[in-house]
Amino acid sequence: MSLPDLAPDFPADAPGRTAQLPDRIALVLRDRILSGELRPGTFLRMDRIAAELGVSHTPVREALQSLRAEDMVRALPRRGFVVAELTRGDVADLFEVQAELTGRLAARAAARLVPADLDDLHELAARVADLCARTGADAGPGELEPLVSAEHRLHAEINRMAASRKLAWLAGRSSHYLPAHFYTGSAAWRAGALRAHTTLLDALGAADPEAARAAMQRHVLDGRDLLLAHLDGIGMWT
């Protein structure tokens, strides 16, 4: 499996691909935990992860330590790392925080956009629509990567246009706690996202902050509802 590229707004302490490798590994593992692929109590074997991702043990260990600091995994003495407890409320909270942050940014962007900005957003949304149409029902993580990146770029550009750098940084950081490969892999999410993008861009074009806020929040919470229905269905909480 190839590792995903990090989004442009992901914080990095050092330049270059190698410096970001533990963050990229953590992104993959976090995605699997939040989508229920790795259940609470599952042991995370460094040698298996390193072999699957084609990396050495060192960045895997750093990634697991990072996830430990986030309370996504726990370290058991002499036993290794294990996926930490995750409740239904925890998952809902992650999406609801993201909805609040991005909704506020969309409202600010609506008050600041110029026509050229809106043209750029329509171009990005068209890219997402094209990738949605070309993504198969059984697409794997590698095949989903262009769609994940395009969707993130659209949202990151709206956040940038809000001219609220710290708030945009927080939104970008929190977006990594949502399992993007799970919901972009869903045909239901893809259809809903296209409708949501139309509603959102209409609100931005009308310079209507409250409509933009509501559209963005609903878009994010649609992902929450889809994920929770999936986790309920696989018996995640039992």
Count of domains observed in the chain: 2
> Over the stretch 58-106, which tens digit does the pLDDT of each residue have?
999 999 999 999 999 999 998 999 999 999 999 999 999 999 999 999 9
- Domain shared by 68 and 107, yes or no: no
- Domain shared by 135 and 149, yes or no: yes
> Residue 80: what are its φ and ψ, rounded to 5°?
105, -155
CA separation for the pair 40, 159 (Å, rounded) = 33
> Over the stretch 16-38, which tens digit does the pLDDT of each residue have?
334 489 998 999 999 999 999 99
- Domain shared by 55 and 92, yes or no: no
What is the CB-side half-sphere exposure of residue 205 using CA atoms within 13 A? Answer: 12
Q: Which domain holds residue 141?
A: 88-233
**Residue 24, domain member (yes or no):** yes
> Over the stretch 202-221, which tens digit does the pLDDT of each residue have?
999 999 999 999 999 999 99
- Domain shared by 205 and 152, yes or no: yes
- Domain shared by 151 and 190, yes or no: yes
Beta strands in 37-133 (DSSP E): 43-44, 73-76, 80-83
What is the pTM assigned to this prediction?
Answer: 0.88
**Residue 43, domain member (yes or no):** yes
- Please list, in sequence order, all residues whose beta carbon lies within 8 angstroms of the beta carbon of residue 7, skipping any fewer than 6 positions away: 149, 152, 153, 156, 172, 175, 176
**Residue 9, domain member (yes or no):** no
- Domain shared by 136 and 55, yes or no: no
- Domain shared by 78 and 113, yes or no: no
**Residue 170, domain member (yes or no):** yes
Query: What's the CATH number where 154 sits?
Result: 1.20.120.530
- Domain shared by 116 and 172, yes or no: yes
- Domain shared by 71 and 113, yes or no: no
